[in-house]
Amino acid sequence: MNYSYLKRDCWLEIDLDLLRGNFMAMKNMVGPNIKVMPAVKANAYSHGIVACGKELEACGADYLGLGNIDEAIMLRENGVKMPLLIFAGNLIAEVADLYIKYNLIPTVFTYEHAKAISDAAKEPHPIFIKMDCGRGRLGVDAEDFPALFARIATLPNVRVEGVYSHMCAVNWPDKASTEYGEWQYKRFSSALAAIGPAAEKIPFRQLANTPASIALPELRMTGICPGRAIWGFSPLEKREGHPELKMPMVAWKSRLLHVHDVIGGKFGEGGKAKRLDTPLRIGVMAGGVSDGISTKQEHGSVLVCGKRVPVASAICLEHTILDLTNCPEAKPGDEVVIFGRQGTEEISMDEVRKFWEKDLMSFWTAITPHVQRVYLRDGKPCAVTSGDRLEEIK
């Protein structure tokens, strides 16, 4: 193996073929007439915005939904031309010029937002209006949407290209009380009905997230916005009609930087310094707390030489110390698996996540950007992140 594309020996492996498979599963499920806007907020749920954004553009996604203008600018600087929506991450008036300069679609829910964009634009700029229909978070109250829409229609340099909402509490219809979901849908559709034929002229009308777009086909309207499904997860029970999804984040790996026998270190109770009567063979791997490894991992294990090996002491900021007593053949440069496969052994992401007591979103987004993301195509490394940059691997 040649690792010369790594600048630091701690990396995530992300399979772009599986990412494409998830997108296509959702696209095939809804059919050609419904647009798909994958949610790629939070650095593509930590998978890396540039490589994943480019892949989803190549797959034929209609829009991407981002949480952050900086990540949208990175996509533009990497040649992504497709429409990009910013969910809501700023007070729009303060950065209206960036929306125009980089051709980004803002999420507006006040007249002032829309006016700031109209004032900054030289020609009608696309905007999405967000409604709150029961999530209790961002958006204009559904009942106030018609009045807001009428005021925005008087502005010369905005064009309402989308109207959307974020549903909550969605499940298979037989699994839960459908009352809350129906209430949200009713608020959304009544708000649209109240503006009459103008509603039909808004191309993107969307309120379905991952579970709604799978479980409630009648809510797909003209578009869906799946987040978790794109990254291989759905909260629904798997049954007939559920698309097949696989997690593209297939492994988190590191390498041994140093292997030696030590006669002292932080091997005591609670990480206290302690002299040892007999030497302990340790391996030091790249990757610690600053990479997103939980301090709970001090009682965890990893794979080295195809075997489970325990962590020997408290997790450092940049390193983890392994107890190689049962793996004397290990040497510097050997691969370490935090989750993933090695030979016939496997530590699953789920096992690590549960051991660290994290929900999936916290687990993914805790993995910091200085863990390099290595992208696989046909099972082989094809690109790698290095800081903000994405570098091809020849």
Ligand X SMILES: *Cc1c(COP(=O)(O)O)cnc(C)c1O
Smallest distance, ligand X to C-beta of residue 236, A: 10
Helix/strand/coil for 373: strand
For residues 12 and 229, which CB has a smaller minimum distance to ligand X in the complex?
Answer: 229
| Comparison of 210 and 372: residue with beta carbon closer to ligand X | 210
**Contact assessment for residue 323 and residue 309, using Cβ atoms and an 8 Å cutoff:** yes
Q: How far is the CB of 240 from ligand X (least distance, A)?
A: 21
**245 versus 349: smaller Cβ distance to ligand X:** 245
Residue nearest to ligand X (CB): 227
Give the nearer residue to ligand X in terms of CB position, either 16 or 167. 167
Give the Cα-Cα-Cα angle 372, 70, 382 (nearest 5 degrees): 30
In the complex, what is the shortest distance from the CB of residue 309 to ligand X, in angstroms, rounded to a whole number? 35
Q: Could you give the CA distance from residue 275 to residue 260 in angstroms, rounded to a whole number?
A: 16
> Under the rule (CB under 6 A), what is the footprint of ligand X?
39, 41, 87, 166, 209-210, 225-229
H/E element holding 146?
helix 145-152
Contact 109, 140 (CB under 8 A): yes
Q: Is the Cβ of residue 87 or residue 99 nearer to ligand X in the bound state?
A: 87
Give pairs for 184-188: CB < 8 Å, separation 24+.
184/133, 184/134, 184/135, 185/133, 185/219, 187/131, 187/133, 187/134, 187/142, 187/143, 188/131, 188/133, 188/142
CB of 352 to ligand X, least distance (A): 21
Amino acid at 148: L
- Min dist CB 345 to ligand X, Å, is 31
Question: Smallest distance from the beta carbon of 227 to ligand X, in angstroms?
Answer: 3
